[in-house]
Chains A and B, each alone.
Chain A
Amino acid sequence: MNLERKPDLQADLLIIGGGTAGPMAALKAKRKNPALDVLIVDKATVRRGGSICRGMDAFNNVTIPSKATAAEYVDSIQLMSDGIIDPNLSRIIAEKSFAILQELESLGVATFPRYANGEYMVQQFHPRGAFLAEMRGDIKPVMEKLIREAGVRILNRTMASRILTENGRAVGATLLNIRTGEFQVCRAKSIILCTGGQGRFALPDTGYLFGTFDCPYNAGEGHSMIYHAGGELVNMEYNDVSPMLKDYEGPGHSTFIRHGGHLVNSLGERFMAKYAPEMLERAPSGIREQAMRTEVREGRGPIYYDLRHLAKETIQIIKEGIFAAERPTEKQFFEMRGIDIGNDLIEITLSGPNMCGGHGPTGALVDENAETTVKNLFAAGDIASTGWGFVGAAWVFGMIAAETAAELNAKIAWGSIDDTAVQAEYQRLLAPTLLEDGFDPAEMEYKVRRIIKPHLTSPKSQARLESALGQIETFRRDMAKVKVTDSHELMKFAEVDAIIDTLEMAVRTSLTRKESRWGYGHYRIDYPQKDPAWDKHYVVAAKNQRSGCMTTYPKAVPEMRMQEGV
């Protein structure tokens, strides 16, 4: 293949990723300043790219004033994160989410079913407080149309590979068209990364590389880009593990549990009563994972969802949510297996570990403006550490990042592009196209991903983590042997490189946090207790700018600023 260098692009605001947060950011940037030149790029298309390509069954963290309070939301996230999420970010999500729900409703992007008395259908999934509002609608095409009409420029099938910086500030990005193999630079005054979580991480039990829970097209490239740009990532030692429909590896957990479903073992026991007698199925995910693994280890597996006690009307709402809004192909799957979710037990397995800011605390360290520790580089959605942010954080911080960037635009001068960095990136992507023979990117990907479950699943140990570091070194060596034949494979080459980067972050931060926290979220068999010295402290993964090597260090979590009503 030919990696063709195209003339540079330029945009006031470059948004990388057109899934959930990206289109909201684009819309809000244009609302704030219609003259702003906004460019959004997506590896797939803005119309159908990202985790919610078919929709989402709930606005899964909205604080509706009559239903819950901001204080309850902050409390719940503090409990789930065991104090390792900035509470100020949770407060912002709680305060701004309901206005977004109303706006999405008025724009016709989504509908929010209500009971006969006119109240929104809101259920409890978090340990405290009810924050999940039923949501319907084919969200993405409507959002795409809105941003097109607002004058946002859209570049589909385009992935970003590196952020270009000047004195610690983002000034542009390198882009690759995954269908044509064209390489170009986009200069920008500010950049918002909305590339999603690391969904293509541990090999799922399906044995199928792309049979993952979170969108497998989100391969952690954003995390990798922030890292190479000098930014900080936090909580990468946290194992994001969710219960999965066996063989489909698809969602259902939050829907089943918020509507009153139970988790049972093969003896029919509602086993969470032993591990979290008060919170039961609504216990933080690491506690739930520990419970499930213990049940299976002690011979009481498999584990099932039991919805058989739920009313017919409730089962109907669940079916509408999952089958019509979130993952319609799950309907086909259940039919193929002959499972009727209201009458049969639903066998489950465990995902991951993955890294998803929507389902856990992992991601880019951001402040209250969604700015990363690289100036003018923002991050929103599953890439950011905003604490079990789901769609709420994506929309709220997508909006905040865009409004901040739009406001700053007039005050920011254009940066200059370092051509040495551009050349280095061009050469990195060119190298696998020049090999006459070599490994397929998919073979390399399998080789890397197969070590994640054995080395990172809790209980973790120093010996297993150190052994993983040795393997990572060989992966880096062997990446030089990967050959690509077309631009699609070149995309995968860049993705595998990001998978290795995020794996190294997970392993090194797991070694650094010499304590156990979050149940099986991070359980060190050699340090089985929580250490108060680690309370309110992140482990940061970052690039040592002098050595070019990965470094980890503790960093204090910001205190809650006093605010009326919280």
Chain B
Amino acid sequence: MGIRVDKSKCTGCGRCAEECPGDVIHMNPDTHLPFNKYKNDCWYCGVCEVECPCGAATMEFPCLIV
């Protein structure tokens, strides 16, 4: 699945999109928030979570895993 974003905490810095190894996460140019552009390519590695400097990112498993 990819990233789940807590909009109240996200500053739109883009670290998650910059580092996501699967190129899953991109930044929405209008909202400046990250979104899962290619959610079916997620390896659920959790890099988005660990790279987020403000605790706004949670890794969400793909539906076929849960």
Interface residues of A (CB under 8 A from B): 43-45, 47-50, 53-54, 138, 157, 178-179, 206-212, 215-217, 247-248, 327-329, 332-333, 336, 442, 488, 491
Contact A215 B19 (CB under 8 A): no
Contact B18 A45 (CB under 8 A): yes
Residues in B with CB closer than 8 Å to A336 are: 61, 66
A-B contact pairs, 20 of them (CB 8 A): A44-B21, A48-B20, A53-B47, A54-B46, A54-B47, A157-B23, A179-B23, A208-B62, A208-B64, A209-B40, A210-B22, A210-B62, A211-B62, A215-B21, A217-B21, A329-B59, A332-B61, A333-B61, A488-B23, A488-B38
Given contact pairs A48-B21, A178-B23, A329-B46, A206 touches B64 in the complex (Cβ within 8 A):
yes
Q: How far is the CB of B45 from chain A (nearest CB, A)?
A: 5
Interface residues of B in 34-61 (CB under 8 A from A): 37-38, 40-47, 50-51, 59, 61
Complex partner residue of A210 from B37, B42, B50, B59, CB under 8 angstroms: B42
Q: How far is the CB of B37 from chain A (nearest CB, A)?
A: 8
> How many positions in chain B have a CB within 8 Å of any CB in the partner chain?
24
Main secondary structure of the interface of B (DSSP, over half): loop
Given contacts A50-B21, A212-B43, 10 further A-B contacts (CB under 8 A): A44-B21, A48-B51, A54-B50, A206-B65, A208-B65, A210-B41, A211-B65, A217-B22, A329-B59, A333-B65
Interface residues of B (CB under 8 A from A): 18-23, 37-38, 40-47, 50-51, 59, 61-62, 64-66
- Name the residue on B nearest A42 (C-beta): B21
Complex partner residue of A216 from B19, B43, B64, CB under 8 angstroms: B43
Residues in B with CB closer than 8 Å to A333 are: 61, 65
Residues in A with CB closer than 8 Å to B37 are: 488
Given contact pairs A206-B64, A210-B40, A210-B41, A44 touches B59 in the complex (Cβ within 8 A):
no
Complex partner residue of B40 from A43, A442, A491, CB under 8 angstroms: A442
Q: How far is the CB of A58 from chain B (nearest CB, A)?
A: 18
Given contact pairs A44-B21, A44-B23, A207 touches B64 in the complex (Cβ within 8 A):
yes
Residues in B with CB closer than 8 Å to A206 are: 64-65
Which of the listed residues A44, A49, A210, A247 has the most CB atoms from chain B within 10 Å of its own CB? A210
**Alpha-carbon gap, A216 to B62, bound state (A):** 14
Contact B45 A54 (CB under 8 A): yes
Q: How far is the CB of A382 from chain B (nearest CB, A)?
A: 15
Q: How far is the CB of A169 from chain B (nearest CB, A)?
A: 32
Residues in A with CB closer than 8 Å to B47 are: 48, 53-54
Q: How far is the CB of B18 from chain A (nearest CB, A)?
A: 7
- Name the residue on A nearest B58 (C-beta): A332
Q: How far is the CB of A331 from chain B (nearest CB, A)?
A: 10
- Name the residue on B nearest A47 (C-beta): B19
- Name the residue on B nearest A491 (C-beta): B23
Q: How far is the CB of A216 from chain B (nearest CB, A)?
A: 5
Residues in A with CB closer than 8 Å to B42 are: 210
Complex partner residue of A48 from B19, B61, B66, CB under 8 angstroms: B19
Q: How far is the CB of B7 from chain A (nearest CB, A)?
A: 21
- Name the residue on A nearest B22 (C-beta): A217
Residues in B with CB closer than 8 Å to A47 are: 19
**Alpha-carbon gap, A208 to B40, bound state (A):** 8
Q: How far is the CB of B56 from chain A (nearest CB, A)?
A: 17
Complex partner residue of A247 from B43, B51, B65, CB under 8 angstroms: B65
Contact A248 B21 (CB under 8 A): no
**Alpha-carbon gap, A207 to B51, bound state (A):** 28
Residues in A with CB closer than 8 Å to B43 are: 210-212, 215-217
Residues in B with CB closer than 8 Å to A491 are: 23
**Alpha-carbon gap, A110 to B27, bound state (A):** 32
Q: How far is the CB of A369 from chain B (nearest CB, A)?
A: 30
Residues in B with CB closer than 8 Å to A328 are: 46, 50
Q: How far is the CB of A495 from chain B (nearest CB, A)?
A: 10
Q: How far is the CB of A138 from chain B (nearest CB, A)?
A: 8
Top 10 closest pairs, chain A to chain B, by CB: A44-B21, A208-B64, A329-B46, A48-B19, A48-B47, A329-B44, A48-B21, A206-B64, A207-B64, A49-B21
